[in-house]
Structure 1
Amino acid sequence: MPLLIRYALSSAFLLIILTGCSRNEDPALTTVEGIVTNKYTGERVSGAVLEVQKITPMLFNTPSQDSITGGVSDSDGHYKLTFTALGRKQYRVRLVGGATLADLNNYHDLDSYHYGALINNGKGNNADFEVTPYKPVKININSSKDGKTDISFSFVNADQGDWFGGSIFFDTTRTNQQFSLTKTMWVLPDRPYCFFKYTANRVRGYGYNYSFRDESRTIIRRTVLYTDTTVINFD
């Protein structure tokens, strides 16, 4: 085949590929709207913050999530977001609850790191959210290290759902032995939790390594219901 003809065919083929790609990347006006409701009371929630994120796969890392647009639910719990989507990109809408609201729909793909409802580009989408405010748990601590170096208090969920827990209080100074304080932790309601007290002697090993001896644990199990006032006492 003459060189000129081969060049012309290659150029035409490349033009077709580029044209196809550009069509797939054509911007498309997209909307997503829905209602935000308190799961336990059925009331519509105003002031909930929603945002659209663009999900970009990463070869050897978790996907990047870039905020595209956002807004808040109105007095009727309704929200509506409009944005321009590129045909080949993936977009999701998620609740930005912060320290006040938790998304109980979760919209979590078990085989991915994506949170939020998947959006169909170039169309009108509906995504409702069931949410809950976090519930306070009062932790009363009136405890001793019993002569040991370390004491810590923590909690974690005791069911098979997504992990939820954290540190409540800890101290690693040997001369501090007696503790009397109150802490408030905010948890997801209607879930069982384990609350832990742990004491031990911390022994320095080689370099910066430490080991722990004479360990002792106390576990308090409690289900925190939405309507409960929960108090945990460590003596």
Structure 2
Amino acid sequence: MRCCICSGVRPGRTEVAAACAWLREGLLFCVAAAEAWSGLDEEPTAFCDMAVPLGHPHDSKGDKVTISFAKILLNSIQPGIEELGRFAGTDIFCDISQYPMAIRIPGILIIRVNAGTLCFANASFIRQRIMRWVAEEDELEENAKEKIHALILDMSSLINIDSSGILALEELHKKLDALDIKLGVANPRWQVIHKLKLGKFVDKLGSGSIFLTVTEAVDACLAPKMLGA
């Protein structure tokens, strides 16, 4: 497809219609790809790198735009989820996969979701991924260490949440509670905590399970009085 903007030519109806059709096909492709990969743990960018461009086969600019847009969309639908550990002797928590020297807290799973929004597009994926992580950690610690008794969700990256995101948190809370695992929320932004209050999630979780920092949440878990007690 010829790029009228780059060439300085004012686009006509034909060019605009072609551009809209091209973008629509790209969106449908991205959504289909996300649905196909929603149950897998592989990085979505790997799929985008293999994607066949939907524009003209010789339009390198269109190819790059399509793939870049697909990466952005899929990363929003399937955001990165990290397990955090603490640097010895500090109150700094970081991604264990990036900093192997970070120490896991026995019996406590600390998760950070690298997404700006918890919404209808990614809420189900995030909830399912966290529950799989809990199951995997329980299997690893069943014989070696104490089982997980608390999960701390670091919300420092979230700037917004919708009703689907709140519903996913409620379902996560119920499933964890059935496993006798307490849920704590750390470092939520004011927009997020405001919506959690409006959605009655704070009442269901308990105000004692909301913390300003991950450190405070960990200290509460390690104290005799557990989260939400």
Question: TM over 0.5, yes or no?
Answer: no
Relative contact order: is structure 1 or structure 2 higher (C-alpha 8 Å, sep ≥ 6)? 1
Higher Cα radius of gyration: 1
Question: Higher strand proportion, which one?
Answer: 1
What TM-score, normalized to structure 1?
A: 0.28
Q: Which has the higher helix share?
A: 2
